[in-house]
């Protein structure tokens, strides 16, 4: 018999936010943007002059996305959320994508991102290095939709219908050697296409990493779409990571290189501000960021906060990955 345990973050139906409150989110987001921008590691104010608030870039006409016919993909019912999905308009107007500015309002600037042609390189400890076009990679995978919680270290949260495939499948495709201990995922580096990279806001390209055990956990997801369509540029098209038990900065966007190594990689935020951001970055309400509490989170679109849950509610799936590691800084 299948017994469904209520997960630690699931709230009773009566407590779910009424639909109409979501419609108020735009004003909430507008108010929150000034506060949120630069909060992450105190992003430098000079970036604002570069982007004029993030909406300055011209959008040139582009061919339709060749992967459009793959969407919507079948939803995998094993991955669901309690409460409504965050409206798409909110998810595409409140983002962190420092390649396009430190404002939350970078959707227009991110239209400079060119997502075709797009290749992904597989390097490092692999049987054979290879480079593959994104559409060939998509053909090799079966896409599915999953509803995930998404929690930024800045204490805001969303509920997102991602489309993609398990990171485990990407690992199988890459054929790493047995000596590989970490997967490293890198964003593109092209300051012409990403004006933020002309300034040292972060060390470019943006790099993130996971242990092989984390990467091959069922929850770790390579994202190619959202809301039943190819991924919007501002959300990290055409390929990004989603590791919902970790703070959002681990979920690197617009990936062009996947490599494998036997040493823990230097990751972007951990390298920039090691006292504030670490390699593990697992969500935990009891471990505050040095500059703010993580006890609660603002659910964007609802006008309300809810208690943060350890591992963002995915403890049953991932806590065992960290057994015997209590001395490590697992939660920052
Ligand atoms: N990836 C790249 N390349 N550049 C970034 O600035 N920001 C990170 C992460 N991935 C970021 C990135 C942070 S801090 C968060 S919270 C999430 O992307 C935000 O994803 P979203 O904009 O889709 O909500």
332 residues of the chain, pLDDT tens digit each: 444 444 444 433 333 333 322 233 333 333 333 333 334 644 333 333 334 344 445 555 788 899 999 999 999 999 999 999 999 999 999 999 999 999 999 999 999 999 999 999 999 999 999 999 999 999 999 999 999 999 999 999 999 999 999 999 999 999 999 999 999 999 999 999 999 999 999 999 999 999 999 999 999 999 999 999 999 999 999 999 999 999 999 999 999 999 999 999 999 999 999 999 999 999 999 999 999 999 999 999 999 999 999 999 999 999 999 999 999 999 99
User: Sign of the C-alpha dihedral, residues 265, 268, 272, 273?
Assistant: negative
Report the nearest-CA residue for atom 2 of ligand 1.
253
Distance 96 CA to ligand 1 centre (A): 4
The single-letter DSSP state of residue 99 is G
Q: Which atom of ligand 1 is nearest to the CA of 254?
A: 3
Other C-beta atoms lying within 10 Å of the C-beta of residue 184: 22
Q: Which atom of ligand 1 is nearest to the CA of 40?
A: 14
pTM exceeding 0.75: yes
CATH superfamily of 13-59+77-318: Oxidoreductase, molybdopterin-binding domain (3.90.420.10)
Tokens describing residue 15: 């407590």
Of 156, 191, 248, 276, which is best to mutate to test ligand 1, by the most ligand atoms within 8 angstroms of its C-beta? 248
Contacts of 303 (CB under 8 A, 6+ apart): 21, 24, 25, 28
Pocket of ligand 1, beta carbon within 6 A: 40, 95-99, 152, 187, 206, 235-236, 248-249, 251-254
Of 161, 226, 253, which is best to mutate to test ligand 1, by the most ligand atoms within 8 angstroms of its C-beta? 253
* Domain coordinates in residue numbering, the chain: 13-59+77-318
Q: Which atom of ligand 1 is nearest to the CA of 95?
A: 22
Q: Which atom of ligand 1 is nearest to the CA of 205?
A: 3
Tokens describing residue 176: 């790493």
Distance 215 CA to ligand 1 centre (A): 18
Distance 247 CA to ligand 1 centre (A): 10
């Amino acid at each position: 018999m299948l017994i469904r345990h209520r997960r630690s973050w699931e709230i009773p139906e009566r407590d779910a936010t009424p639909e109409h409150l979501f419609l108020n989110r735009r004003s909430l987001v507008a108010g929150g943007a000034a506060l949120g921008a630069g909060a992450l590691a105190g992003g430098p104010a000079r970036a604002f002059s570069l982007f004029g608030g993030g909406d300055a870039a011209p959008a040139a006409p582009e061919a339709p996305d060749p992967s459009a016919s793959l969407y919507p993909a079948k939803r995998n019912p094993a991955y669901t959320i309690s409460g409504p999905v965050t409206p798409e308009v909110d998810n595409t107007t409140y983002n962190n994508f420092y390649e396009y500015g430190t404002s939350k309002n970078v959707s227009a600037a991110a239209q400079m991102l060119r997502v075709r042609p797009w290749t992904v390189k597989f390097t490092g400890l692999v049987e054979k290095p290879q480079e593959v076009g994104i559409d060939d990679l998509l053909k090799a995978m079966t896409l599915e939709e999953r509803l995930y919680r998404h929690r930024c270290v800045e204490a805001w949260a969303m509920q997102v219908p991602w489309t993609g495939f398990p990171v485990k499948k990407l690992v199988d495709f890459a054929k790493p050697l047995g000596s590989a201990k970490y997967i490293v995922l890198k964003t593109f580096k092209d300051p012409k296409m990403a004006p933020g990279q002309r300034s040292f806001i972060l060390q470019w390209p943006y790099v993130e990493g996971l242990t092989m055990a984390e990467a091959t956990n069922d929850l770790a997801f390579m994202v190619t779409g959202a809301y039943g369509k190819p991924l919007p540029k501002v959300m990290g098209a055409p390929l990004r990571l989603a590791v919902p038990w970790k703070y959002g900065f681990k979920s690197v966007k617009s990936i062009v290189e996947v490599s494998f190594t036997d040493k823990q990689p230097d990751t972007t935020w951990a390298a920039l501000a090691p006292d504030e951001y670490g390699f593990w970055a697992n969500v935990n309400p009891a471990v505050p960021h040095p500059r703010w509490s993580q006890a609660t989170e603002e659910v964007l679109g609802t006008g309300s906060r809810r208690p943060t849950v350890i591992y963002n509610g995915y403890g049953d799936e991932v806590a065992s990955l960290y057994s015997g590691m209590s001395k490590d800084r697992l939660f920052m």
